């Protein structure tokens, strides 16, 4: 069990300056576990940290240097003396948000809004693009036996979308429209269907993931060929949806999303944009639309894992490329090139592990 020494890590020093270095293996407090990282997905937030566009960098919330990576799974390598409920070698995943546990928000279960908030791989907390990371054991969740690392690495992004659906509320029989076919949009669509939506449509600019979306029993709208209004009308006979999820981070889509939300309906914004949006407040107010913001995945891991185990949320076909840790800079370059389908790119300890 490694408790000292160094490990290989991808350290981001400045935009586009991602270097493979030796870093200290994290030292454990009594309530922490050391985790050997087996797989970690590259999130859009990671890409924005990599290229310098992440809003957290500009408002002072995040700072270089950092070790990114929060969509991870791994196995317990060592434990502090106060850790309970885990065993060495156990496959686990963990929260991205780490709260202090004693502030007002933490005491209400809103640890993702902690007054001393840290986020794994994002805000003042080393992440999982390394051989090891550490977390308080209360922020860690055991993965069901038989689940592979390639599947478990999707639990965190899926939980982000599940939390958005839980917070917004999808009624039984609601029609749901999702803007964006990245992993967050695809998981939001699946979670909405699992929550009781009668119909779900995903709108995106290209047909890259059309077959996958339709295989889940959903409609697909290619916004490069037709308007969302026309596409929704053709599928459902109406031009709006009771619930809309904006998962693109494109400020120009925000007003379109308002206009496609049914009167009395709900609109949830999940993605960062990095820009100020000019919203049609009159339409929002006059048609009594509820607009919801959501961040991270607090209190959503357990329901997400249950839904994945029950076959209600799928990951098959979503891992489109894999790289070993030592080639992490190359993996980020591949993501930035935007060539071909790339729902999720993963950094794996062992490429042979399925």
pLDDT tens, residue by residue, 217-254: 999 999 999 999 999 999 999 999 999 999 999 988 99
Percent of the chain scoring above 90 in pLDDT: 91
Tokens standing for residue 158: 């899926």
Span of 64-73, 207-216, 331-340 with lowest mean pLDDT: 331-340
pLDDT score at 275: 81
pLDDT tens per residue across span 288-325 = 999 999 999 999 999 999 999 999 999 999 999 999 99
pLDDT at 278: 86
pLDDT tens readout for residues 84-97 = 999 999 999 999 99
CA separation for the pair 88, 78 (Å, rounded): 7
The confidence score (pLDDT) of residue 350 equals: 78
CB 183 within 8 A of CB 343: yes
Name the pLDDT band for 115 (thresholds 50, 70, 90).
very high
Q: What is the pLDDT of residue 340?
A: 65
Q: How far is CA 258 from CA 225, 236, 261, in A?
A: 21, 18, 5
For 325, the 3-state DSSP assignment is helix
Report the length, in residues, of the chain. 354
Give the burial string for 4-42 (b: 16+ CB within 10 Å, else e): eeebebbbbeeeeebeeeebebbebeebbbbbbbbbbbb
Give the three-class secondary structure for 326. helix
- Helix ranges (H only) for the chain are 44-51, 55-58, 104-107, 149-152, 155-168, 183-194, 210-215, 228-236, 251-259, 281-286, 301-309, 328-337
* Domain annotation for the chain: domains and CATH numbers: 6-154+315-348 (3.90.180.10), 158-293 (3.40.50.720)
Strand partners, 347: 40, 323
Residue 163: burial class (beta carbons within 10 Å; 0-12, 13-18, 19+): buried
Question: pLDDT band at 2, cuts 50/70/90?
Answer: low
- At residue 276, the pLDDT reads 82
Q: Is the pLDDT of residue 141 over 70?
A: yes
The chain-wide mean pLDDT, for the chain, equals 95
Query: With contact defined as beta carbons under 8 Å apart, do 153 and 96 qualify?
Result: no
- Beta pairing partners, 293: 269
Instruction: DSSP for 19-38, please give it.
Output: EEEEEEPPPPPTTEEEEEEE
Q: The tokens of 143 are what? A: 């993965």
Residues 6+ apart with CB under 8 A from 282: none
Taking only the tens place, the pLDDT of each residue in 239-295 is 999 999 999 999 889 999 999 999 999 999 998 887 888 899 999 999 999 999 999
Query: Span 197-225, mean pLDDT?
Result: 97
Does the pLDDT at position 1 exceed 60?
A: no
Residue 56 predicted with pLDDT over 80: yes
Q: Mean pLDDT across the stretch 148-172?
A: 97
Q: Which pair of tokens denotes residue 70?
A: 């929060």
Compute the average pLDDT of residues 326-347. Answer: 89
pLDDT number for residue 308: 96
- Tell whether the model's pLDDT for residue 13 goes beyond 60: yes
Indicate whether 186 pLDDT > 90. Answer: yes
């Amino acid at each position: 069990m490694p408790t000292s020494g160094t490990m290989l890590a991808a350290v981001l020093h400045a935009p586009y300056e991602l270097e493979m270095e030796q870093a200290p293996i994290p030292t454990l407090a009594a309530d922490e576990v050391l985790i050997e990282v087996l797989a970690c997905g590259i999130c859009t937030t990671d890409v924005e940290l990599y290229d310098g566009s992440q809003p957290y960098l500009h408002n002072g919330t995040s700072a270089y240097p950092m070790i990114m990576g929060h969509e991870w799974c791994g196995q317990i390598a060592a434990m502090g003396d106060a850790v309970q409920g885990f065993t060495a070698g156990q496959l686990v995943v963990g929260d991205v948000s780490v709260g202090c546990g004693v502030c007002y928000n933490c005491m209400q279960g809103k640890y993702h809004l902690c007054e001393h908030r840290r986020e794994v791989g994002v805000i003042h907390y080393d992440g999982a693009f390394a051989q090891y990371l550490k977390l308080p054991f209360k922020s860690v969740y055991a993965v069901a036996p038989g689940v592979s690392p390639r599947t478990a690495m999707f639990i965190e992004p899926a939980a982000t979308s599940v939390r958005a659906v839980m917070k917004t509320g999808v009624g039984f029989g609601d029609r749901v429209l999702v803007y964006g076919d990245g992993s967050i949009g695809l998981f939001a669509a699946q979670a909405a269907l699992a929550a009781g939506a009668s119909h779900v449509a995903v709108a995106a600019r290209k047909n890259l993931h059309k077959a996958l979306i339709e295989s889940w029993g959903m409609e697909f709208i290619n916004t490069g060929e037709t308007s969302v209004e026309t596409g929704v009308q053709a599928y459902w006979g109406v031009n709006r949806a009771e619930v809309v999820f904006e998962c693109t981070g494109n400020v120009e889509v925000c007003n379109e999303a308002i206009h496609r939300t049914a009167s009395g309906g709900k609109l949830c914004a999940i993605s960062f944009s990095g820009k100020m949006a000019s919203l049609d407040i009159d339409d929002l107010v006059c048609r009594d639309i509820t607009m919801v913001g959501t961040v991270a995945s607090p209190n959503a891991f357990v329901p997400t894992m249950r839904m994945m185990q029950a076959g209600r949320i799928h990951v098959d076909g979503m891992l489109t490329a894999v790289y070993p840790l030592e080639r992490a800079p190359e993996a980020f370059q591949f993501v930035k090139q935007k060539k071909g389908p790339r729902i999720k790119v993963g950094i794996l300890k062992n490429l042979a592990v399925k």
